Amino acid sequence: MNRILEAPVMINLEITEACNLTCRHCYNFWRQDDGPKPVGLTEERISTLIDMMVEAKVFHVVLSGGEPFANYKILKYALGRLTAEGISTSVNSNLMPITAAKIRELKALGLDHVLTSLNSAKAEVNDYMVNREGALQEIIKGIKTTIAEGVRVSVNMIISDANRDDIYETARLCAELGVQKLFATRLVPSIRDLVFSETDRKLGQEAALAALDEMVRARDDFGLAIGTLISYPLCLLGDLEKYKDFVGRGCPAQRGNRMVINATGATHACTHEEASYGDVFEIGIKQAFRKMAAWHNGTYLFEDCKQCRYVNVCNSGCASASQAYFADRKAKDPLFKGFEAITTDFKLEIPPEVAAAVTGGENFVVPPSIRFREENGFYSLNVRWANTFSVYHEVGRFLIDQQKQGTAFNVSQMVGEDPRQNLVNLVYKEAVVPEKAQLKALFAGGVKLGCSIDPDDLVAAGEGS
């Protein structure tokens, strides 16, 4: 299927350049001490931007920065308006400048999840990385306050030589705090960071794999959900069963799902990218997105990856890491090992109950929360937040009709070339749910792993092997 989208399905919107921290690893290269005063979006500009997002039918917006709480009035305004427009949101914050009252206020406007940054349970390591003494204690306080107000918190831990030995204890702390998920995200050096290879901001193959081992151990010991926000090449993982929590995200910029908008209006495909594709206020979302075509059409795939059966899932790892390490986005990911290093394949864990319910002719419905966007010859289907995948036009139309009419259907009515498999995939991705309350309860929340994988990508991957 040609999956080139006309507009991003999710936008990472930096509402301010201002930040209370100056993390040593931060990709926001514009934050220099002697630089110009940081820019923040005004109510007028964000209102124009939200109009553009509604028009482009964007599903999800991550409100980020800088530190978004440094532009609290605009954060509040943006959350309220996006929620009212049916666009889901999440906030990236270090949670240091918050109060219970602010979280309560934002929750009433639709805030339900915050991704925060906590880099080590050891104060000296965390505070060194974020360049502020006492930061860890403030972050912990912020996490406790946010969770106490009923807002989910996930933690992003940026892994490098500086903190790679602290993973297990940081995971223990996260579990004790009631954090929903811990991401062990590899540090991708800022392109302005010319000396990183002589510092502890680098991460080699062995260290990266050892870090993931610690994550798996922590998941098993503490029952914590784990993942990463920037992909590790699947050939680094090798055993895709053991490291299944790290399979599936790929590169959102190369998948053509995401766009980044800075507080100045500058547009990027990746948060780490310096060059802008134009001012969104001048050229609009769709035109800026079209100018990112090189990201979307495979230009930045590493040559050796083109024969890999996982290329559609992995996207060659991280092109910005290639740029940072080798000054070339088309170069190999520094953690690349080559597809021969994949020793155990990834298996989609379709629970037997799902397959049995489909084959047994159970009825399914399309929940009202499922969102659709018509693309050029297919539909984007959004399950929740940024979780979006493509379906054939015929399947999209069928599902929209069922949703509009509020009708239930079974496999005999399902459309497409392989109706049974189509329906199994849709149930697996939670795009359709069983009509029977008893079955619904059985499936609810059960299908978590691999939910960021489009089953079609794995089928294609299998065929290429």
Ligand X SMILES: C[S@@+](CC[C@H](N)C(=O)[O-])C[C@H]1O[C@@H](n2cnc3c(N)ncnc32)[C@H](O)[C@@H]1O
Binding positions for ligand X, rule: CB under 6 A:
19, 25-28, 64-65, 67, 92-94, 115-117, 156, 158, 185, 187-188, 190, 230
Residues 269-288 that bind ligand SF4 (CB under 6 A): 270, 272
Is residue 246 a contact point for ligand SF4 (CB under 6 A)?
Answer: no
Distance CA 336, CA 317 (A): 8
Min dist CB 367 to ligand SF4, Å, is 29
Min dist CB 455 to ligand X, Å, is 28
90 binds, among ligand X, ligand SF4, none (CB under 5 to 8 A by kind): none
For the CA atoms of 404, 405, 407, 413, the dihedral, rounded to the nearest 10 degrees, stands at -80
140 binds, among ligand SF4, ligand X, none (CB under 5 to 8 A by kind): none
Distance CA 89, CA 386 (A): 9
Distance, first Cα to last Cα, the chain:
19
Q: Which span sits near ligand SF4 by CB under 6 A: 81-89, 129-137, 277-285, 309-317?
A: 309-317
Min dist CB 69 to ligand X, Å, is 8
| 17: its two tokens | 């350049």
222-260 burial by CB neighbour count: b if 16+ within 10 A, else e?
bebebbbbbbbbbbbbeebeebbbbbbbbbbbbbbbbbb
- Among 308, 354, 357, 424, the residue binding ligand SF4 under the rule CB under 6 A is 308
Is residue 8 a contact point for ligand SF4 (CB under 6 A)?
Answer: no
Which residue's CB is nearer to ligand SF4, number 143 or number 318? 318
Is residue 188 a contact point for ligand SF4 (CB under 6 A)?
Answer: yes
Min dist CB 112 to ligand SF4, Å, is 24
319 binds, among ligand SF4, ligand X, none (CB under 5 to 8 A by kind): ligand SF4
- Among 339, 372, 379, 409, the residue binding ligand SF4 under the rule CB under 6 A is 339
Min dist CB 463 to ligand X, Å, is 33
CA distances from 297 to 231, 244, 294, 301, 312 (A): 19, 27, 6, 9, 12
Which residue's CB is nearer to ligand SF4, number 18 or number 240? 240
Which residue's CB is nearer to ligand SF4, number 316 or number 403? 316
The beta strands (E) that lie in 324-440 are given as 364-365, 371-374, 378-384, 387-392, 433-434
| 428: its two tokens | 């697996």
Q: Which span sits near ligand SF4 by CB under 6 A: 46-54, 142-150, 201-209, 248-256?
A: 248-256
The count of residues interacting with ligand SF4 (CB under 6 A) is 27
Min dist CB 253 to ligand X, Å, is 13
What secondary structure does DSSP assign to 122-144, as a single string? Answer: SHHHHHHHHT-TTHHHHHHHHHH
Please enumerate in sequence order all residues whose Cβ is within 8 A of that of 322, keeping only pairs 6 or more positions apart, or say none: 300, 302, 316, 328, 329, 330, 331, 332, 333, 334
In one-letter notation, the amino acid at residue 214 is: E
427 binds, among ligand SF4, ligand X, none (CB under 5 to 8 A by kind): none
Residue among 357, 351, 336 nearest 410 (CA): 357
346 binds, among ligand X, ligand SF4, none (CB under 5 to 8 A by kind): none
Give the β-pairing of 181-186 and 225-227. Answer: parallel
Is residue 314 a contact point for ligand SF4 (CB under 6 A)?
Answer: yes
91 binds, among ligand SF4, ligand X, none (CB under 5 to 8 A by kind): none
- Among 233, 248, 256, 450, the residue binding ligand SF4 under the rule CB under 6 A is 233
Min dist CB 67 to ligand X, Å, is 4
Please enumerate in sequence order all residues whose Cβ is within 8 A of that of 119, keeping only pairs 6 or more positions apart, or say none: 125, 126, 129, 130, 157, 158, 162, 163, 170
Please enumerate in sequence order all residues whose Cβ is within 8 A of that of 12, keeping only pairs 6 or more positions apart, or say none: 61, 62, 64, 258, 259, 260, 261, 271
Min dist CB 412 to ligand SF4, Å, is 39
- Among 59, 246, 310, 346, the residue binding ligand SF4 under the rule CB under 6 A is 310
Q: Which span sits near ligand SF4 by CB under 6 A: 11-19, 118-126, 232-240, 393-401?
A: 232-240
Crossing angle for the helix pair 280-290 and 43-55, nearest 10 degrees? 30
C-alpha triplet 314, 315, 318: angle, nearest 5°: 95
SS3 content of the chain, % helix, strand, coil (to 5): 40, 15, 45
- Interacting residues with ligand SF4 (CB under 6 A): 188, 230-231, 233-235, 251-254, 270, 272, 302, 305, 308, 310-311, 314, 316-320, 333, 336, 338-339
